[in-house]
Amino acid sequence: MTDLVVRRLLIDLQTPLPRHWCGGGTFRTAFFNALSMSFPVGEQFFIDSVRNGHKALSAEEQARRQREVQGFIGQEATHRRIHALFNAHLEKQGLVNAWAPRAESRVKLLEGLDPRHPLAITAANEHFTAILAEWLLRHPALFGDAQPRLKTLWLWHSAEESEHKSTAFELYQALGGTQEWRVKWMRRVTFFFLTDTLRQTLNNLRRDGTLWRWATWKDAASFLFGPTGLVRQTFKPWRAYFKPDFHPDQQQSDLSQRWLQANSAQYTVAGARPN
Ligand SMILES: [Fe+2]
Ligand SMILES: [Fe+2]
């Protein structure tokens, strides 16, 4: 079992965000803004999936996993709240969240299904967040140094994603979820995650008035395809999910604990709590 604690971030989220807060890059800012827009709906879905999956276990298994599940729910609930504050600033900048309503209508389609389906979808998404998290913790320079509070927000979220990356996966396995469906859902999640991220990033750039700037696509090229770029660094760990003996713990995540230790002045520990 993973010991998960809930942390309260001690950063300023009142001051408006500069338009290109992420290292001055228009593309990378639009990309992270897009991800943030998906979090409140997405993370509520993860919470519900894990809560329902947990309820479907035997009483003995439920008791054994109780603390971890509470920690998971507490962490994701905190992420939702913080990203809702972040997203309110984006709205004031004139950006429009088209991803959240699409995600909400897809979530409705899953109502009444066996709890292993939403859990497999959650496990697939949690693999995406875990590999993104590991990449960000390894290359924090891509945030630049202009907005340390926002860099802290994203790295704190990354550190906790890394910490709880096995929770949904292990619940799925404990409920007898099959490899076939796990992989099937990962293929679908990959399609939706990539297309939704791209659509919302382009939408953000268009509303920002920077879609057709040369500097935007130069930023995109280095951010995605540079030596430390997203695509190059995350393709292999993404592919590992398809192996029959895959487990999230096979992938390194020691950067998470290192970041949390080195940045303990940036948060307080609130303890695990149900939500
Ligand atoms: Fe999260
Ligand atoms: Fe998560």
68 alpha carbon to ligand 2 midpoint, in Å?
Answer: 13
| Contact predicate 71/3, CB 8 Å | yes
Q: What's the structural domain count of the chain?
A: 1
Q: The pTM is what? A: 0.95
**Residues 31/234, Cβ–Cβ less than 8 Å:** no
Q: Flag whether 274 is in a domain.
A: no
**Which helix (DSSP H) or strand (DSSP E) does residue 269 occupy?**
strand 267-269
Coil, helix or strand at residue 180:
helix
Ligand nearest to C-alpha 76:
1
Within a domain: 259: yes
> For the chain, which residues score pLDDT lower than 50?
272-275
Q: Does residue 71 sit within a domain?
A: yes
For 198, the token pair is: 């791209």
In a domain, 275, yes or no: no
Ligand 2 centre to CA of 157 (Å) is 9
The radius of gyration of the chain from alpha carbons, rounded to an integer in Å, stands at 18
Task: Look at residue 1 in the predicted model and tell me its pLDDT.
Answer: 65
Range of the domain at 221: 7-269
Q: What local confidence, expressed as pLDDT, does residue 274 receive?
A: 44
73 C-alpha to ligand 2 centroid (Å): 9
In the reported structure, the alpha carbon of residue 161 is separated from the centroid of ligand 1 by a whole-number distance in angstroms of: 6
Asked if 220 and 107 count as a contact pair (C-beta separation under 8 A), the reply is: no
Residues 17 and 29: their CA atoms lie apart, in Å, by 11
pLDDT tens digits, one per residue of 74-107: 999 999 999 999 999 999 999 999 999 999 999 9
Is 73 within a domain? yes
Residue 275: the pLDDT is: 42
pLDDT at position 272, please? Answer: 45
pLDDT for residue 253: 79
Pick the ligand that lies closest to the CA of residue 77: 1
Q: Which residue has the tokens 């990378």?
A: 28
Cα of 17 from ligand 2 centre, angstroms: 24
- Any domain includes 221: yes
Is 1 within the bounds of a domain? Answer: no
| 2 occurs within a structural domain | no
Note whether 25 and 223 are within 8 A (CB): yes
Q: How far is the CA of 253 from the centre of ligand 2 (A)?
A: 14
CA of 62 to the centre of ligand 1 (A): 22
